[in-house]
Structure 1
Amino acid sequence: MKHLPKHLRPRWRYLAVGLEAWPDADVSRADFQRSVWFAAQNLVGDVGSADADLRVVRFSFDSGTGEALLRVRRGEVERARAAVACVDSVRDDPIGVAVRGVSGTIRAAAEKYLRDGAESSSDETVAFDGDSRRAVVRGERVDVEGDGSFVGATTFDCR
């Protein structure tokens, strides 16, 4: 079977996406892809989501932070951004999704908008709410463990 000529091939854009969740969240590539498809389907319908053809090209997630690279058809970038903004959980884990940028090639998107690897985090013991508790520290953000769940805080809150 012959390849299509270049002027007839589909054109793609690539969305670089940052992900953030609680430190104990378990998010896989397949689960994130499913959540993106469901969000697109619920927002723009079956036909609109098929036109956008959202696919996860690259994915990394560890200790509550991660990033992904999504492929979308060239004329459907705005719909894709709206659909990605509607993703609020993967399985039962709440997740924050932010589009960092859009590019025409995978390489350019990765170089401009993706960091190499997840943000460094460390387990520490902090003073919070008059008690000493375990926490996961990522930059200025501190996720304090308490009563089976996490509480978001800053380094200023943990003194």
Structure 2
Amino acid sequence: MKHLPKYIRPRWRYLAVGIESTPAAEIDRGTFQRELWYAAGNLLGDPGSAAADLTVYSFSFADGAGETMLRVRRGETDAARAALACVDAIDGEPVGLSVRGISGTVRACEERYLGRGTGRFEQRHVAFADADRPAYARDEAVEVSMPTGFVSATELDFE
């Protein structure tokens, strides 16, 4: 079977997306892809979701931070960004997604926008809510472990 001529092949754009969640979150590629498809289907409908053709191209997530690259059809990047904005939790864990950039090739997307993670968590104990509690710090953000879940704070809240 012959390859399609270049002018007939589908054209793609690649979105670099940063992922942040709680330190205890366990998110994998399959669950992220499923939530993305559900969000796209609910927002754009079946025809719009099929036109965007959102696919997770690469994925990495550990210690509450990660990054992924999404493949989207050219001309559908606005719809893809809107679908990403609808994802607020994955398997019950709250997540924050941010589009770092859009590129026309995988290589350019990796070199420009991926690989510069936000750093890893540093575990320590802090005084919060009248008790000594375990906390996870990354840059200026601090996640304090409470009996009901995590509470977000900044370094200024502890000085």
* TM-score relative to the length of structure 2: 0.96
Q: Is the 8 A contact 2:24 2:64 kept in 1?
A: yes
Structure 2 CA distance for aligned equivalents of residues 26 and 39 of structure 1: 20
Amino acid at match of 1:142: V
SS at match of 1:75: coil
Amino acid at match of 2:107: R
Structure 2 CA distance for aligned equivalents of residues 118 and 5 of structure 1: 41
Q: Is the 8 A contact 1:128 1:157 kept in 2?
A: no
Structure 1 CA distance for aligned equivalents of residues 123 and 54 of structure 2: 35
Q: Residue in 1 aligned with 2:81?
A: 81
Counting matched residue pairs gives 159
Amino acid at match of 2:53: D
Q: Is the 8 A contact 2:54 2:71 kept in 1?
A: yes
Q: After superposing the two structures, state which structure 1 stretch, 88-97 or 116-125, moved more.
A: 116-125
Q: Residue in 2 aligned with 1:50?
A: 50
Q: Residues 16-27 of structure 1: matches in 2 within 5 Å?
A: 16-27=16-27
Amino acid at match of 1:103: S
Structure 2 CA distance for aligned equivalents of residues 17 and 124 of structure 1: 28
Q: Is the 8 A contact 1:27 1:90 kept in 2?
A: yes
Deviation at 1:131, TM superposition (A): 1.8
Structure 1 CA distance for aligned equivalents of residues 2 and 79 of structure 2: 32
Establish whether residue 150 from structure 1 lines up as the match of residue 150 from structure 2: yes
Structure 2 CA distance for aligned equivalents of residues 142 and 90 of structure 1: 21
Deviation at 1:158, TM superposition (A): 2.0
Q: Residue in 1 aligned with 2:12?
A: 12
Amino acid at match of 1:64: G
Amino acid at match of 1:151: V
Structure 1 CA distance for aligned equivalents of residues 76 and 44 of structure 2: 11
Deviation at 1:23, TM superposition (A): 0.7
SS at match of 2:76: helix
The C-alpha deviation readout for 1:4-61, integer Å capped at 9, x for no partner, is 0111100000000011111111101000000110010000100100010000001010
Q: Residues 90-109 of structure 1: matches in 2 within 5 Å?
A: 90-109=90-109
Amino acid at match of 1:91: D
Question: Structure 1 vs Structure 2: percent identity of aligned residues?
Answer: 54
Aligned alpha-carbon RMSD (Å)? 1.2
Q: Is the 8 A contact 1:14 1:70 kept in 2?
A: yes
For structure 1, the residue ranges without an aligned partner over 5 or more in a row are none
Deviation at 1:114, TM superposition (A): 1.2
Q: Is the 8 A contact 2:19 2:65 kept in 1?
A: yes
Q: Is the 8 A contact 2:17 2:69 kept in 1?
A: yes
Q: Residue in 2 aligned with 1:129?
A: 129
For structure 2, the residue ranges without an aligned partner over 5 or more in a row are none
